[in-house]
Amino acid sequence: MGSTVAQGPDEPGLELVDVSKTFGGLTAVSSASLTLRPGTVHGLIGPNGAGKSTLIGIASGFIKPSSGQVRLAGRDISTLDPTRVAQLGLARTFQQATPITGLTVLENVMVGMHLHYRSGIAAVLFRTPSMRREAREREAAARSMLENFELGADADTDAADLPFGKLRFLEIARAVVMQPRLLLLDEPAAGLNAIETERLAAIIRVQAAQGTGILLVDHDVPFVFSLCDHVTVMNFGSVIASGKPDDVYRDAAVREAYLGDETAEETAA
């Protein structure tokens, strides 16, 4: 297993450079570029079908680009598989929060810790004292993570029995426990109520303050713009605007394609 790529606060964590993806005759992403830096929250918005989820799939290794390059701390990772990308420090969530069936909430989170286990296969097979000690340490860390996500009381519950909002937080906790340098969140606020959305915002702020670079894809415009240091907007597979939130609010192309004049004025107020 490789180690996480080291990054300084001013270095680009994730770079997508002129990335394109075609499926048959359909162009899902066309020459899109984006830079996510450690310790920042970068919003990615646009209408349905704009190419946002495809771009996240390319960044995380689940989809291979037809052209262009994906770099992690300057290293080309365009051809790496998702497991290797995760080992290098990039984690993601999915639009559909799907737990590992048959496992408890605690066990689901502990699965996310597999990249950090020190014990080798022999230690696991023979249950050596060092392996048992590490297992106890990992369980304690997983329980602490659940408390941070207000899931502590559900630790021993079958994850499949959680209500939707808690499933969403479990999905994020499972990614955060990997201790990624970069975290890609695909529609994390979808289906959450106002209280849950504010809790999610607080979690994102804490992760960014700890140095994690976060790419946030969501249709909740006020949620995205209130959190983000930088916003990129896509339409029909292309990036049509990218910059500071206030500048993107006022971009004519963004208002026409996605926000609408009235929405932009209300959100900017």
In tens, the pLDDT along 134-177 reads 777 888 888 999 999 999 999 999 999 999 999 999 999 989 98
pLDDT band at 77 (very low <50, low <70, confident <90, very high): very high
Phi, psi of 190 (to 5 degrees): -60, 125
Residues 6+ apart with CB under 8 A from 183: 90, 91, 92, 93, 175, 176, 207, 212, 213, 214, 215
pLDDT at 196 over 70: yes
pLDDT at 5 over 50: no
Homologous superfamily of domain range 14-99+178-268: P-loop containing nucleotide triphosphate hydrolases (3.40.50.300)
pLDDT at 184 over 50: yes
Length of the chain: 269
What's the longest Cα–Cα distance across the chain? 65
Res 118: pLDDT: 53
180 burial (CB, 10 Å; 0-12 / 13-18 / 19+) is buried
Q: What is the pTM of this model?
A: 0.84
Average pLDDT over residues 223-249: 94
Res 261: pLDDT: 56
SS3 247: helix
Going from N- to C-terminal start, the domains of the chain cover: 14-99+178-268, 105-161
201: tokens are 């915002």
